[in-house]
């Protein structure tokens, strides 16, 4: 896969998908979103991949959309329109990741806000380092949240705490995220990727058909 904004690597049946714009905290553009979806497509169709890990390059996971310099308003308008509806519709990126059939681990190595939070929430398992910070900032831009925050966040932390996070736009630090169940565990920064890949390797060693069935069952069970 030839991409610069999203790196894609496979080793020992684990695909590592890395958002690769560290100079802007891996904020998303139309092009980087397209490369991210292409990486998920590649991981899904490759029979040598049993589990995937998504993370960010540098000191951030994903700072959401790049609203400072790299937004392409005309290209983004259909997705933004979905977030302005009174009953919002999931964006294309969220739908694709929800439909990803293989287990997905988010290794949250820093700030994860806006759609970066959604990306983490759409993973099946979340590990974080102590510097991770989580926040749904949509309210600050007069937008509704995307599918991850609206559906997955209340499932993980409960409706009341989810409403507080969504309505205030406040950040949640790594320790609090672990306490409320937003992440499975906090791992020392220099061990995060080793831990994530080790867990992914254990999962990838299991029968693929069983993993697909379990993931589909979890998706049905959690609505």
151 to 35, 85, 121, 166, 172: CA distances (angstroms): 25, 16, 9, 12, 18
126 Cβ neighbours under 8 A, 6+ residues apart: 105, 106, 108, 120, 182, 183, 184
Q: Tokens representing 223?
A: 């609505």
Q: Are 152 and 175 in contact (CB under 8 A)?
A: no
Structure confidence by residue, pLDDT tens digits, 104-132 = 999 999 999 999 999 999 999 999 999 99
- pLDDT, one tens digit per residue, over 71-115 is 455 555 665 665 555 556 678 888 999 999 999 999 999 999 999
Q: How far apart are CA 122 and CA 153, in angstroms?
A: 9
Q: What would the mean pLDDT of 183-202 be, rounded to a whole number? A: 98
- Does the domain spanning 6-221 belong to CATH 3.40.30.10? no
| pLDDT tens digits, one per residue of 16-69 | 999 999 999 999 988 999 999 999 999 999 999 999 999 999 999 999 988 665
**Residue 130: per-residue pLDDT:** 98
154-178 pLDDT, tens per residue? 999 999 999 999 999 999 999 999 9
Percent of the chain with pLDDT over 90: 78
Question: Minimal CA–CA distance to 14: which of 103, 118, 144?
Answer: 103
The answer for residues whose C-beta is within 8 angstroms of residue 136's C-beta and 6 or more apart is 113, 114, 117, 145, 149, 153, 165, 166, 169
Three-state secondary structure readout of 131-159:
CCEEECCHHHHCCCCCHHHHHHHHHHHCH
* 18 token code pair: 């890395």
pLDDT of residue 160: 97
**Matching residue, tokens 């700072």:** 63
pLDDT for residue 72: 54
Q: Give me 136's structure tokens.
A: 């749904």
220 band by pLDDT with thresholds 50, 70 and 90 = confident
Compute the average pLDDT of residues 129-145: 92
pLDDT at 70: 46
Sequence-distant (≥ 6) Cβ neighbours of residue 69 within 8 angstroms? 24
35: nearest Cα among 61, 11, 54? 54
């Amino acid at each position: 896969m030839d991409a610069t904004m999203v790196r894609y690597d496979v080793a020992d049946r684990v695909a590592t998908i890395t958002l690769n714009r560290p100079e802007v905290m891996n904020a998303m553009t139309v092009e980087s979103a397209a490369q991210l979806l292409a990486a998920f497509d590649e991981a899904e169709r490759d029979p040598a991949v049993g589990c995937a890990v998504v993370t960010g390059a540098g000191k951030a996971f994903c700072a959401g959309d790049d609203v400072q310099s790299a937004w392409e308003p005309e290209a983004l308008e259909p997705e933004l329109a979905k977030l302005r509806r009174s009953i919002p519709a999931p964006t294309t990126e969220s739908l694709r990741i929800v439909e990803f059939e293989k287990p997905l681990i988010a290794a949250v190595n820093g700030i994860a806000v806006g759609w970066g939070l959604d990306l983490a929430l759409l993973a099946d398992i979340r590990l974080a380092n102590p510097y991770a910070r989580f926040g749904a900032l949509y309210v600050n831009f007069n937008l509704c949240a995307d599918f991850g925050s609206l559906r997955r966040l209340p499932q993980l932390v409960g409706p009341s705490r989810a409403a507080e996070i969504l309505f205030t736009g406040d950040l949640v630090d790594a320790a609090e995220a672990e306490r409320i169940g937003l992440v499975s565990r906090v791992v020392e920064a220099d061990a995060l990727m080793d831990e994530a890949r080790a867990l992914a390797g254990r999962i990838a060693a299991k029968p693929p058909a069983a993993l697909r069935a379990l993931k589909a069952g979890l998706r049905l069970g959690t609505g």
